[in-house]
């Protein structure tokens, strides 16, 4: 489809309180907790960059200034490393440093839900399609979940939702899609159900926190009434948009770790540590003695 507009911007909602990790998150944003040697937010940004994203939009909240600092130049640190000729450490900093003008930050002043957080990015995104990545969901895959979604988007246009298979008996814990006809490397989405009652799920494919959305979602979110939890729900807005535009599903076959939970966070640290040649053997020995 030659008429498909390219996706160059990505939105990262990072305003959450992270209460499940208190007291650690009293002064450190949950997105800055580290999986191995990188903060959680960096994994999402790296995935987006690998998929061709050029502008990174962060929807922050109170006490999240350290996220902005993380993506800024650290003059004192770099100066010290240069004086001490720490070339490898300098190279690491340069590798993860966004170019000037590549990052934008806006504030979600009240915790009104994911849909509201997305709506807060409307003026920065403008009238163009955008990617949405929930940083709590850390993906481990050589190609990258968003890269696979971009491939499908180039074939179909419209809106793309990343999905993953889950055991049927676990579907009641997730937002689940209804699978339609094949489309490109994916399939049409004909419905979405949030936490279906046991035995009623339309499929065993759950929504894993990666989206490509058209800008019309902002107009819907502006008038969206509060839903579950008295919050502005993104799923409700997507269901409305689905009456006007097509939605397609991409099945991600890599590993996903829910770093918003303690178990998922620890599992992610172990998985990435076992992939690190320097410490993998040491970690295996440690796990075997537990």
Is residue 260 classed as helix, strand or coil in its secondary structure? coil
Quick one: pLDDT band at residue 203, thresholds 50, 70, 90?
very high
- The answer, yes or no, to whether residue 111 has pLDDT greater than 90, is no
pLDDT at 195: 87
pLDDT at 3: 76
Sign for the CA dihedral angle at 56, 58, 64, 65 comes to: positive
The per-residue pLDDT of the chain, averaged, comes to 93
Is residue 239 classed as helix, strand or coil in its secondary structure? helix
- Counted residue by residue, the chain has a size of 290
First to last CA, the chain: 54
- CA-closest candidate to residue 32, choices 54, 16, 48, 47: 16
Quick one: pLDDT band at residue 1, thresholds 50, 70, 90?
very low
Region 82-98: what's the mean pLDDT?
A: 90
- The answer, yes or no, to whether residue 150 has pLDDT greater than 50, is yes
Element (H, E) at 282: helix 280-288
Residues 6+ apart with CB under 8 A from 260: 16, 18, 20, 30, 136, 137
Burial classification of residue 255, based on how many CB atoms lie within 10 Å of its CB (0-12 exposed, 13-18 middle, 19 or more buried): middle
Region 80-86: what's the mean pLDDT?
A: 92
Whole-number Å distance between alpha carbons of 230 and 111: 10
pTM greater than the 0.85 cutoff: yes
Whole-number Å distance between alpha carbons of 1 and 7: 14
Whole-number Å distance between alpha carbons of 273 and 279: 7
The neighbour count for residue 153, using CB atoms within 10 Å, is 26
Q: Could you tell me where the beta strands, DSSP code E, fall in 124-251?
A: 130-133, 137-140, 159-165, 175-183, 186-194, 205-213, 247-251
- The answer, yes or no, to whether residue 26 has pLDDT greater than 70, is yes
pLDDT at 227: 79
Longest Cα separation, the chain:
63
Q: Is the pLDDT higher at 232 or at 55? A: 55
Task: Give how far Cα 188 sits from Cα of 128, 149, 161, 255, Å.
Answer: 22, 13, 10, 23
- The answer, yes or no, to whether residue 112 has pLDDT greater than 60, is yes
Region 33-46: what's the mean pLDDT?
A: 96
Q: Domain 9-255 falls in which CATH fold?
A: Spore Coat Polysaccharide Biosynthesis Protein SpsA; Chain A (3.90.550)
Q: Could you tell me where the beta strands, DSSP code E, fall in 23-122?
A: 34-35, 38-39, 55-60, 103-107
- The answer, yes or no, to whether residue 131 has pLDDT greater than 90, is yes
pLDDT at 62: 84
pLDDT at 248: 97
Q: Is the pLDDT higher at 236 or at 231? A: 236
């Amino acid at each position: 489809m030659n008429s498909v507009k390219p996706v160059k911007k990505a939105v990262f909602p990072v305003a959450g309180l992270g209460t499940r990790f208190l007291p650690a998150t009293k002064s450190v944003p949950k997105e800055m907790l580290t999986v191995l040697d990188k903060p959680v937010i960096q994994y999402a940004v790296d995935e987006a960059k690998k998929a061709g994203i050029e502008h990174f939009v962060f929807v922050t909240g109170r006490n999240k200034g350290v996220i902005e600092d993380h993506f800024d130049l650290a003059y004192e640190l770099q100066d010290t490393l240069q004086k001490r000729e720490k070339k490898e450490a300098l190279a690491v900093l340069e590798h993860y440093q966004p170019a000037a003008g590549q990052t934008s930050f806006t504030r979600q002043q009240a915790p009104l839900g994911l849909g509201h957080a997305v709506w807060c990015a409307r003026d920065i995104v403008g009238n163009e399609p955008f990617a949405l990545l929930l940083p709590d969901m850390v993906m481990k895959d050589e190609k990258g979940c968003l890269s696979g979604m971009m491939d499908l988007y180039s074939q179909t246009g419209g809106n793309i939702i990343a999905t993953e298979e889950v055991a049927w008996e676990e579907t009641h814990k997730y937002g689940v899609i209804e699978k339609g006809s094949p489309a490109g490397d994916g399939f049409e989405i004909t419905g979405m159900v949030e936490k279906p009652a046991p035995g009623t799920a339309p499929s065993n494919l759950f929504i894993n926190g990666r989206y490509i959305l058209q800008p019309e979602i902002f107009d819907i979110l502006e008038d969206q009434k509060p839903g579950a939890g008295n919050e502005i729900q993104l799923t409700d807005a997507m269901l409305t948009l689905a009456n006007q535009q097509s939605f397609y599903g991409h099945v991600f076959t890599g590993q996903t770790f829910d770093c918003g939970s303690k178990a998922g966070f620890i599992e992610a640290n172990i998985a990435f540590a076992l992939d690190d040649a320097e410490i993998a053997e040491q970690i295996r020995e440690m796990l075997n003695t537990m």
